[in-house]
């Protein structure tokens, strides 16, 4: 229907992205060997730290880093991962922010928001910043209503 945005929302934890709460979302294919992806995984009750994975590039399409479940696995551009009281902070060696997460805690639940800009391997903008909120560019994201069960590029190679 015209003008209606719809999705899903979890009682326990949601990401705030593109102006909507989402229990989890995925852009791109974590199973690909080299391409961009961003995975914000679905959290089960008991888990209160968001699990972020992805392969991020700069505006020229040069690879910055690969993150798997919040851990830097590949870091060709000498980026910095720093935990913060409310999440984590990824920055280039120049200090420029790549991605920052902030998780707000409520009496019975959590909401995680993002700030930063992400580009894919062609230098196309995939995550944009509008004021204080982050927006996914394009319509190709998938919503997750359960923890991600797929495999990651590395595993595929080894399979």
Partner 1 sequence: MDRGTCLVWVFGDYADYFQNRVTLQLIAKGKALASELGTRVGVVVLGEDIGQYVMEYVAHGADVIYAADNNALKDYDVELFTAVAASWVEIFRPEIFLAGATAFGRELFPRIAKRLRTGLSADCVALEIDRETGAFVQTTPAFGGDLLADVVTPVMRPQMATVHPGIFRELPHDPFALAELIHPPLPNLPERKIEVVRRRKEKARRASLTDAGVVIVGGKGVGSRANFDKLFQLAELLGGEVGATRPAVNAGWAGEERLLGQTGKSVRPRLLITIGTSGALQYTAGIRGSETVIAVNRDHSAPIFGLADLGIVGDADRILSLLIEELNRRL
Q: Which residues bind partner 1 (CB under 8 A)?
A: 1-12, 14, 16, 19-21, 23, 44-45, 106-109, 111, 145
Q: Which is nearer to partner 1, 3 or 85 (CB)?
A: 3
Find the shortest distance in angstroms from Cβ 12 to partner 1. 4
Which is nearest to 96 in space by CA: 56, 51, 39, 41?
Answer: 56
Scanning the structure block, which residue is given the tokens 């190679």? 157
Find the shortest distance in angstroms from Cβ 112 to partner 1. 11
What's phi and psi for 62, nearest 5 deg? Answer: -85, 140
Q: Which is nearer to partner 1, 85 or 131 (CB)?
A: 131
Find the shortest distance in angstroms from Cβ 113 to partner 1. 9
Q: Yes or no: say if 42 and 23 are a contact pair by the CB < 8 Å rule.
A: yes
75 contact partners, CB below 8 Å, separation of at least 6? 65, 66
Q: Which is nearer to partner 1, 68 or 112 (CB)?
A: 112
Find the shortest distance in angstroms from Cβ 7 to partner 1. 5
Q: Yes or no: say if 127 and 36 are a contact pair by the CB < 8 Å rule.
A: no
Q: Which is nearer to partner 1, 108 or 158 (CB)?
A: 108
């Amino acid at each position: 229907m015209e003008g209606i945005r719809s999705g899903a929302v979890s009682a326990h934890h949601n990401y705030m992205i593109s102006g909507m709460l989402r229990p989890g979302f995925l852009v791109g294919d974590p199973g690909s060997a080299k391409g961009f992806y961003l995975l914000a995984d679905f959290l089960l009750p008991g888990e209160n730290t968001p699990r972020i994975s992805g392969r991020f590039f700069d505006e020229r399409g040069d690879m910055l880093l690969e993150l798997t479940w919040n851990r830097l696995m590949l870091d060709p551009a000498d980026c910095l991962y720093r935990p913060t009281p409310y999440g984590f902070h990824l920055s280039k060696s120049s200090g420029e922010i790549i991605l920052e997460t902030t998780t707000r805690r409520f009496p019975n639940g959590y909401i995680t928001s993002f700030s930063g800009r992400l580009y894919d391997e062609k230098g196309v903008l995939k995550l944009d910043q509008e004021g204080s909120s982050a927006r996914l560019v394009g319509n190709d994201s998938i919503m997750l209503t359960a923890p991600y069960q797929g495999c990651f590029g590395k595993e595929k190679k080894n399979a």
